[in-house]
Amino acid sequence: MSTVETARRRIPDRLDTPLKGTLLSWEMLLVAVALGIFVTNSLASPYFLNPWSLSDMTFNFTEKGLIALAMALLIISGEIDLSVAATIALASTLMGMALQSGADTPTLVAIGILTGLACGAVNGALVTGLGLPSIVVTIGTMSLFRGIAYIILGDQAYKGYPAGFAFFGQGYVWWVVSFELVLFAAAAVAFWFLLHRTSFGRRVFAIGNNPVAAQFSGVRVNRVKFVLFCLTGLMAGIASVLLTSRLGSTRPSIAQGYELEVITMVVLGGVSILGGAGSIVGVVLAALIMGMVTFGLGLLNVPGIVMSIFIGLLLILVIALPIVWRRFFGRAM
């Protein structure tokens, strides 16, 4: 059995026949949860099934989902990046500064993406170059990047982005299908192929399971981790372009709390917080679930603070549930 197949998260691990393994896989559980939430939202609000409402719902998860795709690979490798929201803030701020200097749309997009890539490279260099723990490094850069945005902007905001720039966060490719949704779908396919069908993906799993053994097997562990940090920063830069375009303005508080939601998507998607296991399909389903939940609560006029409480509880629940489930089945068997 390949490394990718053994990395699939199942509940419980002992029931490993093909049929039971499929039916009890984490992804199938997420499918059932997604269907349940969809039905609940349909019954709770008469506006939920409107095509334009469903289209608006996708904006609740596409930007965070893009980052979650890259974050999944990083966490599978045994690392984490808590600075992604601050990276968005810094990238958006630099785009706003360029806007004041008369930059056109292609230049703004390039600045946002390259800033994200540079932030990811900084994190990667500190972790792989100096051997520092990623959680400590990215907590530090989280404050650093966000602090720079506040120093530049203060309590001000950049506005007046060009009309062409608005397409990235507000435009539609066909009818109710937004550009953001198409981009997220394309990225999901690309990351699925990268993780589950390439030697690079196998190296990521190997590093997450045992970095020392991977090193002795010829895997350049630090190089792979550096690439993953850069990839996560790159996706945060792309998300900054989409979010800034959708809002039409830049503030230093932009994307506040996104890091919690991104990590929740990844863990809910079945990626082990300890590394070595996970799938892109699970992350995509988790992003859809969180998008439906937050949109449904919004239709019911639930305050944002309640949504934050829910996300925090959900993160704790999805980490604890597999452990409790395995212990229960361990006693039952």
pLDDT averaged over every residue in the chain:
89
* pLDDT digits 0-9 by tens, 77-98: 999 999 999 999 999 999 999 9
Give yes or no for residue 33 having a pLDDT over 90.
Answer: no
* pLDDT digits 0-9 by tens, 304-313: 788 888 888 8
Task: Give the lowest-confidence range in 43-57, 66-80, 230-244.
Answer: 43-57
| Residue from 311, 184, 319, 320 nearest 256 by CA | 311
- If one compares 323 and 148, the residue with the highest pLDDT of the two is 148
Name, of 35-44, 306-315, 322-331, the range with top average pLDDT. 35-44
Give yes or no for residue 303 having a pLDDT over 50.
Answer: yes
> Could you name the CATH architecture of 3-332?
Orthogonal Bundle (1.10)
* Residue 70 CB-density burial (10 A; 0-12 exposed, 13-18 middle, 19+ buried): buried
* pLDDT digits 0-9 by tens, 221-280: 999 999 999 999 999 999 999 999 999 999 999 999 899 999 999 999 989 888 999 999
* pLDDT digits 0-9 by tens, 177-194: 999 999 999 999 999 999
Domains of the chain, by residue range, sit at 3-332
Cα end-to-end span (Å), the chain: 25
> H/E/C letters for each residue in 136-199?
HHHHHHHHHHHHHHHHHHCCCCEECCCHHHHHHHHCEEECCEEHHHHHHHHHHHHHHHHHHCCH
Q: What proportions of the chain, in percent to the nearest 5, are helix, strand and coil?
A: 75, 5, 25
Burial 282-305 (b: 16+ CB within 10 A, else e): bbbbbbbbbbbbbbbbbbeeeeee
Q: What is the pLDDT confidence band of residue 22, given thresholds at 50, 70 and 90?
A: low
Cα dihedral across residues 311, 169, 278, 273: positive or negative: negative
Give yes or no for residue 322 having a pLDDT over 80.
Answer: no
Task: Give the lowest-confidence range in 54-58, 108-112, 323-327.
Answer: 323-327
Give yes or no for residue 321 having a pLDDT over 60.
Answer: yes
Do residues 261 and 311 lie in contact, with contact meaning Cβ atoms separated by under 8 Å? Answer: yes
Angle among Cα 264, 230, 256 to the nearest 5 degrees reads: 40
Q: What is the pLDDT confidence band of residue 17, given thresholds at 50, 70 and 90?
A: low
Q: What is the pLDDT confidence band of residue 296, given thresholds at 50, 70 and 90?
A: confident
Cα–Cα distance for residue pair 145/255, rounded to 1 Å:
12
pLDDT score recorded for residue 1: 43
* pLDDT digits 0-9 by tens, 157-173: 999 999 899 999 999 99
For the segment 128-153, the average pLDDT, to the nearest whole number, is 96
Q: What is the pLDDT confidence band of residue 11, given thresholds at 50, 70 and 90?
A: very low
User: Looking at the chain, which runs of residues are DSSP E strands?
Assistant: 158-159, 172-174, 177-178, 249-250
pLDDT score recorded for residue 6: 43
